[in-house]
Amino acid sequence: MFFSSVGFSIVIMSIWPYLQKIDQTADASFLGWVIASFSLGQMVASPVFGLWSNYRPRKEPLIVSIFISVMANCLYAYIHVPASHNKYYMLVARGLVGFGAGNVAVVRSYIAGATSLQERISSMANTSACQALGFILGPEHRVDDSGRQCKNVNFEEASTDEVQFPQGNIDQVAVLATNVLFFVVLFIFALFETIVTPLTMDMYAWTRKQAVLYDGIILAALGVEAILIFMGVKLLSKKIGERAILLGGLIVVWVGFFILLPWGNQFPKIQWEELHNNSIPNTTFGEIIITLWKSPREDHNEGPTGCPIEQAWCFYTPMIHLAQFLTAAMLIGVGYPSCNVTSYTLYSKVLGPKPQGVYMGWLTASGSAARILGPVFISQVYTSWGPRWAFSLVCGIVVLTIMLLGVVYRRLVPFSVRHGRIQE
């Protein structure tokens, strides 16, 4: 999990500049499909790896998935070599990297089967903080919700002092609702990480090198922030519970995206090279902005900087100030990890101590679907209508999610608590 996160964070901020460099025909809309291809591969692989881990040692799918990831990243490193169609090679490479990343379902099912309810949130938080690499070499045993070791996978011949699978039905409404909640959590962060580089290049006239550097620093800072949040969740969950943390995290995320809404009378700078080509629309907005703004600094090796003239909203949408963007990023960086770890911790508790490989595969698949739709959604809306519409729609989605959580709040309880075997 640690190395997977390292590999993902190295690549994500450089995809857009890299794509522009290797294939001039690629636009921001295609960027959404490239980023979505990772999650499409993960969505396909997650149930497969989850089912595999239910019947075979978890080492097998983990090793195979890591091997696939290594090969796919090697392909990604050399997609600039072919003479044409480079953007499609990137699409394939990222899809294969995502397929290898389907091992998340295996890791989460391992944790669910090796921890008690009291240990669950702590272990999930540690994993999310990239401290779970030892699961490949760890002992393969399963415990029940109280922490007692179980030796037989099928529990049909367990002795009296060994734990059998408890009887009772899983709350399928809670399972479905948690999948939806997890989908939205991944959806909103996927669109945020997708739009960061294009947004900062458009708003602040950053060059490709500047965008990769500065956005990389921002991502690293969010990573440090996330680790602190994961550790805080471990302590806070003991006092107020995972459901309250999930609700609070969603509210913080909503505030973050609300802050991103453009306001004021300052507009982004327009790409100067396009102005020389006389391709600006003959509109009053365009003429006013040309007279107000000087050309942004242009690095001839990097190409034109500023908001592309093809995006008509650049002429009438106020810019998002840097302090505004950084504040929003900080809040989203608080809300997302809180929602992420608590949502799949609640999910594992709702499922109970039965083997969770397939269920975790579906959860990961729902998250992957979110990471497919999120980049496509934000790239299309942002390119066509701008950040005001894009972030307003996201705020609306988060509000609906908070309402859903309120409806199912009482049902998101552990399997053993629901069936009266232990006290909550």
Q: Which of 410, 423, 359 is nearest to 118 (CA)?
A: 423
- What would the mean pLDDT of 291-298 be, rounded to a whole number? 41
Residue ranges with strand state E in 56-191: 142-143, 149-150
Predicted pLDDT of residue 286: 43
Q: How far apart are CA 276 and CA 73, in angstroms?
A: 39
Predicted pLDDT of residue 334: 92
* 298 has a pLDDT exceeding 60: no
Q: Considering the domain 2-147+178-265+318-418 in this protein, what is its CATH number?
A: 1.20.1250.20
d(CA 390, CA 270): 20
pTM recorded for the entire structure = 0.65
Q: How many other C-beta atoms are found inside a 10 Å radius of the C-beta of residue 204? A: 21
Mean pLDDT of 35-56: 81
pLDDT grade for 281, boundaries at 50, 70 and 90:
very low
Model confidence band, residue 295 (pLDDT cutoffs 50, 70, 90): very low
The pLDDT of residue 13 is: 65
Pick the closest to residue 346 from 256, 193, 233, 254 (CA basis). 233
Tally DSSP H helices, then E strands, for the chain: 16, 2
For the chain, what is the mean pLDDT? 77
Note the pLDDT of residue 159: 38
C-alpha 215 chain-centroid distance: 16
**DSSP-assigned beta bridge partners for residue 307:** 270
pLDDT digits (tens, 9 = 90+) for 172-190: 888 899 989 989 998 988 8
Residue type, 4: S
pLDDT of residue 141: 44
Higher pLDDT, 143 or 49: 49
Of residues 357 and 169, the one with the higher pLDDT is 169
> Residue 386 above 50 pLDDT?
yes
Segment (H or E) for 55: helix 28-55
pLDDT in tens, 65-105: 889 988 998 999 898 888 888 889 999 998 898 888 888 77
**pLDDT tops 90 at residue 18:** no
* Residue spans per domain, the chain: 2-147+178-265+318-418, 272-315
Please give the DSSP secondary-structure letter assigned to residue 165. P
Query: What pLDDT shows up at residue 289?
Result: 39
Given the DSSP bridges, would you call strands 142-143 and 149-150 parallel, antiparallel or unpaired? antiparallel
Q: At 3, which amino acid appears?
A: F
The confidence score (pLDDT) of residue 160 equals 36
pLDDT tens by residue, 240-258: 888 999 999 999 999 999 9
What is the average pLDDT across 403-415? Answer: 89
| Across 51-58, average pLDDT | 80
Share of the chain above pLDDT 70, in %: 78
